[in-house]
Structure 1
Amino acid sequence: MTLVVISMIIQRPHYLQKLIDCRHNGMIKVVTGIRRCGKSFLLFTLFSDWLKQQGISAQHIIQIDLEDRRNKALRNPDALLNFIDSKIKDESMHYVMIDEVQLVPEFEDVLNSYLKIPNVDVYATGSNARFLSKDVITTFRGRSFEIKVYPLSFREFFSVYQGNEKEAFDEFMTFGGMPQILSFENAELKSEYLKSLYTETYLRDIKDRYQIKNDEDMDNLLDFISSSIGSLTNPSKLANTFETVKKEKISRNTVCSYLEYICESFLAEKASRYDVKGKKYLDTPYKFYFTDLGLRNARLNFRQLEPSHMMENIIYNELRIRGFNVDVGVVPIVRRNIDGRQERVRLEIDFVCNKGSQKYYIQSAYQMLDESKIKQEEASLRNVDDSFKKIIVVADNIIVRRNEAGITTMGIYDFLLKANSLEL
């Protein structure tokens, strides 16, 4: 797939730097992510071009696209091993790049075969998280390194978009960041592409891989979680929804399995709840966010385009792209109700973000039009006892400001387009 927009290549500097940094580290570099998000282009074009700029000859860059029908024979593990061996001609470093490696049975053995060969550096892409399960990681003997690739961030999207920030954001919120979207000229073509991608690639992939016999149940579950991004849910609640809305019963365990399949295929991610004061995780409920909003919107036939929930999903994805672990924050407090009696309540922080020693509390507030709304959005942040930075992101294009409680408020464009936005 060629990701060219008006004769411009979409650069992915964040991921390219990761590949550069982990060269020759003695580990298998596994590039994961949802299908069609640009993994192959990152590896076969951006990284390969960078290697050539460093003086690496094309003969020492071995590229194998296992989705290509012409390479079907190489889906046999022994044939793949023999082919790679045949391409290693001398003692210089060879860069082996295998696209969609999960199509090869026993691929772990093939990749592990090169761990002790000093002049072979191995990179592989895959679109299913299951092949990075604990069993597979054990098979790699702790010698694999995952680089997870998401669809385009808004900064990457805007870098080649022909229009202003607001137009770009409206487009991004509606059609998402799958790279191919930028090659279509009108909304109808974009819509049809996303619907086809959802049905013919992701749904079929999930149903075939996990041998799902009841297609309708999976379809209905995807409808339910697509309709409730940013809302708390759990398997029991979803099972009850089936009974209430669809007048049919489905077990909690089946719902759990289906949710796992959806996440393993990188279509959505689960955000758990974290008690900020008690410093512990809460079992349920939790939230689901879609890896790409365009796919979510296509699933709902571009209905339910609620900007507040969609902006929250975009902020979640941006934080994940930046490498943060992201949870839903819970702040338990005691306050007096309108009758003057004390009551225990749980306030919510949209996102608690952690990366090493870095920690941030972030609220997504599409609009804060009056003092009551400001007070509502700030309440949970004001009740956090620690000194980590607290940020509210609004849809308005405002000047970054900080109040007496140390809470920073910024516009969505600053948050998404400035790499250092969390430090503003």
Structure 2
Amino acid sequence: MEIARDQYLNELDSRRWNGMVKIITGIRRCGKSYLLFNLFKDRLLSEGIDPGDIIEIRLDEIDAVSLRDPISLYEYVRSRTLDGRRRYVFIDEIQMVSKIKNPHIEGGEDITFYETLNSLLNTGYLDLYVTGSNSKMLSSDVLTQFRDRGDEVRIHPLSFFEYFSAKGGDKQIAYRDFLTFGGMPRILSLNSDREKADYLKRLFTETYIRDIRERHNIEHPEVLEGIIDFISSNIGSLSNPRQIASHFKNVSEGTVRTYIDYLKDAFLFSESQRYDVKGKRYFSYPQKYYCEDLGLRNARLNFRQQELTHLMENAIYNELRIRGYSVDVGVVTLNAKDSEGRSIRIPKEIDFIANRYEEKVYIQSAFAIPDDVKLHSEVDQFKHTGDSFRKIVVRNDVGNRWFDGNGVLHINVIDFMMDKELI
């Protein structure tokens, strides 16, 4: 089954020969290699590019072990491109290249894959594309190493639009399956629920946790797994490392914070900060955490906690990230009176503030709004943002989309997930 991933394919296409290293990042098994070595390669071949002008290196395969040395990798690519012909170079799992001591300068800086890629880029006739599964590849020090010549293309597990486009059938059934088993591409090729569940459980344990433990030499693996369980059980709830640390004996807040950073670096979870809409500042804590893939989250919890309200909120968050938005939790403070008539200030939450360039959208996730009291609680804070950016309530209990008297759009969650042009 071929899954169309046109959004990412077009992003790669638009970056051809831009003088930068295209770095495709994302959680392992989300389709990075497929995007590069299948979809993008097929597009190049369809345009008449000679297959010999596409150099493919898969560093996670046994016949590429010798190329996990930065100098050996450089020499290999150069040996195949000495004629100066313009070529495309694809390198899979670039983070597997180890750093080595500079053999020519005693006590000098280590040689890493950054130097390899920068040197290849400097030839002027190679267009470089690499994949990686660690977000630290895109930290500020790495971008400095690339001298502003690294260009990230972040990909995610399948969106519901991609999932349904491949699966077809009844949208409601597909949506429920998506909330249960998520969007890891291999899920679509498995037939039974048992196969899907077993695959996701193995993936979590044998790939993600093992990777993190080996990469970071985890001293307290039981704490790491406890943090995973806590975050998975509390998606969309306010929490912070100190609160999480309190659930363990003799574990410091610093250790918890470090382990959470490891989980974020592996793209398993992401963090959404609280933002004071009118004060225009971020709160230091607490934050909300969301899972990159709901199927992985559910598998981790053995499919026990299936609260549709939380799953829907996480799915909307992921959808906004897929569409290229940074996502914060909004806070507006309302003036009110207590039971004795004294003035008080009440903080109210807006589930998501989605930002992209100069665009901003306020979004509430509401599984159901059965009465006017609930409606008021969901939309009242929109009136106090002090701006005219769009406001949307994504719901499970409406049919056709409609605008209320305050200009707030109410839309069914499936329509929201399928309508890529809405925002």
Does the alignment reach a TM-score above 0.5?
yes
- Correspondence 1:21-420 to 2 at 5 A: 21-88=14-81, 90-105=83-98, 106-242=112-248, 248-420=249-421
* Structure 1: distance between partners of 2:118 and 2:84: 19
Query: Which residue identity does 2:259 align to in structure 1?
Result: Y
- Percent identity at matched positions? 46
Query: Which residue identity does 1:133 align to in structure 2?
Result: S
Query: Which residue identity does 1:184 align to in structure 2?
Result: L
* Structure 1: distance between partners of 2:171 and 2:24: 30
What is the CA-CA distance between 1:73 and the residue it aligns to?
1.2
What is the CA-CA distance between 1:89 and the residue it aligns to?
5.4
Worse-matched range after superposition: 20-29 or 413-422? 413-422
Corresponding residue SS for 1:78: helix
Corresponding residue SS for 1:347: strand
* Structure 2: distance between partners of 1:343 and 1:186: 55
Query: Which residue identity does 2:410 align to in structure 1?
Result: T
Q: Kindly indicate whether the alpha-carbon contact (under 8 Å) linking 2:25 and 2:32 is maintained by their aligned counterparts in 1.
A: yes
What is the CA-CA distance between 1:334 and the residue it aligns to?
1.2
Worse-matched range after superposition: 391-400 or 9-18? 391-400
**Candidates 10, 17, 20, aligned match of 2:10:** 17
- Gapped regions of structure 2 (runs ≥ 5): 99-111
Q: TM-score, normalised by structure 2?
A: 0.95
Q: TM-score, normalised by structure 1?
A: 0.95
What is the CA-CA distance between 1:397 and the residue it aligns to?
4.8
Corresponding residue SS for 2:285: strand
What is the CA-CA distance between 1:149 and the residue it aligns to?
0.5
Corresponding residue SS for 2:91: strand
Q: Kindly indicate whether the alpha-carbon contact (under 8 Å) linking 1:329 and 1:352 is maintained by their aligned counterparts in 2.
A: yes
Worse-matched range after superposition: 212-221 or 84-93? 84-93
Query: Which residue identity does 1:185 align to in structure 2?
Result: N
The size of the alignment, in residue pairs, is 410
Q: Kindly indicate whether the alpha-carbon contact (under 8 Å) linking 2:394 and 2:413 is maintained by their aligned counterparts in 1.
A: yes
* Structure 2: distance between partners of 1:45 and 1:189: 25
> In the TM superposition, what whole-angstrom CA distance separates every residue of 1:165-217 from its partner, at most 9, and x where no partner exists?
11100000000000001111000000000000000000011111111021111
- Gapped regions of structure 1 (runs ≥ 5): 243-247
Corresponding residue SS for 2:238: coil
* Structure 2: distance between partners of 1:372 and 1:189: 43
Q: Kindly indicate whether the alpha-carbon contact (under 8 Å) linking 2:26 and 2:154 is maintained by their aligned counterparts in 1.
A: yes
Query: Which residue identity does 2:291 align to in structure 1?
Result: F
* Structure 1: distance between partners of 2:398 and 2:3: 25
Q: Kindly indicate whether the alpha-carbon contact (under 8 Å) linking 1:414 and 1:421 is maintained by their aligned counterparts in 2.
A: no
Over the residues paired in the alignment, what is the CA RMSD in angstroms?
1.1
What is the CA-CA distance between 1:17 and the residue it aligns to?
0.6
Q: Kindly indicate whether the alpha-carbon contact (under 8 Å) linking 2:275 and 2:283 is maintained by their aligned counterparts in 1.
A: yes
* Structure 2: distance between partners of 1:354 and 1:162: 31
What is the CA-CA distance between 1:386 and the residue it aligns to?
0.2
What is the CA-CA distance between 1:137 and the residue it aligns to?
1.2
* Structure 2: distance between partners of 1:86 and 1:48: 22
> In the TM superposition, what whole-angstrom CA distance separates every residue of 1:31-84 from its partner, at most 9, and x where no partner exists?
000000000000001001111111111100111111111211111222211221
> In the TM superposition, what whole-angstrom CA distance separates every residue of 1:241-296 from its partner, at most 9, and x where no partner exists?
22xxxxx1210000110110000010000001100010111110000001101111
Q: Kindly indicate whether the alpha-carbon contact (under 8 Å) linking 2:74 and 2:120 is maintained by their aligned counterparts in 1.
A: no
* Structure 2: distance between partners of 1:83 and 1:155: 40
* Structure 2: distance between partners of 1:172 and 1:396: 18
Query: Which residue identity does 1:410 align to in structure 2?
Result: I
What is the CA-CA distance between 1:406 and the residue it aligns to?
1.2
* Structure 1: distance between partners of 2:302 and 2:71: 44
* Structure 2: distance between partners of 1:152 and 1:283: 32
Q: Kindly indicate whether the alpha-carbon contact (under 8 Å) linking 1:397 and 1:413 is maintained by their aligned counterparts in 2.
A: no
